[in-house]
Amino acid sequence: MVTTAVPSETTQAKVHDVDVPTLRAWVESGEATLVDVREVDEHLNERIDGALNSPFSSFDPSQLPVTNGRRVVLHCRTGDRSRRAALQLLAAGQPEAYHLAGGIMAWKHAGNTTVRTKGPITIARQVQVAVGVMVLTTVALGVLVSPWWLAATAFFGCGLTFAGVTDKCPLAMLIAQMPWNRAFRESQPSAASSGCCSHESP
C-alpha cells in the first residue's frame, strides 16, 4: 500500500493507494467498506460485489455511509476519479483517505470476479456511438449530396466541445431518458443530468 502525503495547515493528511490483495483481505475480514465513485450506469453495468455507489459527479464526503470504524476505500475504473474523491475527503477534514490503485480494472486483472447486470451499455458509450454515427452520416451526405451537410458535422463538434467545457451534455441527458435506460434513471434520477465526459477514458 503506497501513501501519498497531502499538505495541510493542521496535519499531514494522507491518501493511501490500496493494492488489490490488501483490499481483498480487508473486505473479506470486514475491515473495509468499498465505495464505487463511478457513475450509476457504470456501477449497474459491472461492479465489485458489495460495493456501494456514490458517483463522483455528485460526490459529497458528508454523505458517505457510517462504517462503525471500518476503513472506507474508494474505487473507480482505473483509479483517477477515486483519487480525486479521496482528496475531497481530505479537504473535508478526514485525516486519511483510501482508494483502490488501478480501480476495478486492476481488481479484474488480478483474477477477481465482478457482478454484471444485463442491460444497455453505459451512457457515455451510447453518446459515443450516437455521435459517431451522426458524424459519419453527415460527412457522407456532405460528400455525396451537398456540402451544406458538413454544417451538421460542425454542430456535433460544437456539442462535444460544450460538453467537455461545461461537463453538461444535452445528448447524454436525452439518451438517459430512453426506455432502455430506465433502470439507470430510477437508481439515481439526478445523475441523468451529469456530463457525458464524467467517465474515465478506456
pLDDT in tens, the chain (202 residues): 655 544 433 345 699 999 999 999 999 999 999 999 998 888 888 899 999 999 998 899 988 877 778 899 999 999 999 999 999 999 999 889 999 999 999 999 999 999 987 666 777 778 888 888 989 999 999 899 998 988 988 888 888 888 878 877 888 888 878 887 776 666 554 444 444 444 554 4
Query: Whose CA is closest to 38, among 97, 114, 122?
Result: 122
Cell 463538434 sits at which residue? 157
Domain ranges (residues) in the chain: 2-116, 123-193
Q: Which CATH architecture has domain 2-116?
A: 3-Layer(aba) Sandwich (3.40)
Report the C-alpha gap between 89 and 52 in whole angstroms.
16
Please state, in angstroms and rounded to a whole number, the distance separating the CA atoms of residues 76 and 88.
15
- C-alpha distances (whole Å) from 199 to each of 123, 142, 187, 196 are 9, 32, 18, 7
Q: Among candidates 60, 63, 112, which has minimal Cα distance to 85?
A: 60
The predicted structure's pLDDT at residue 8: 39
pLDDT of residue 104: 96
pLDDT of 197:
46
Closest CA to 17 of 105, 97, 101: 101
Predicted local distance difference test score (pLDDT) of residue 71 = 92
Closest CA to 72 of 112, 18, 127: 18
Q: What is the pTM of this model?
A: 0.63
Handedness of CA 61, 67, 71, 73 (dihedral sign): negative
Give residue 167's pLDDT: 74
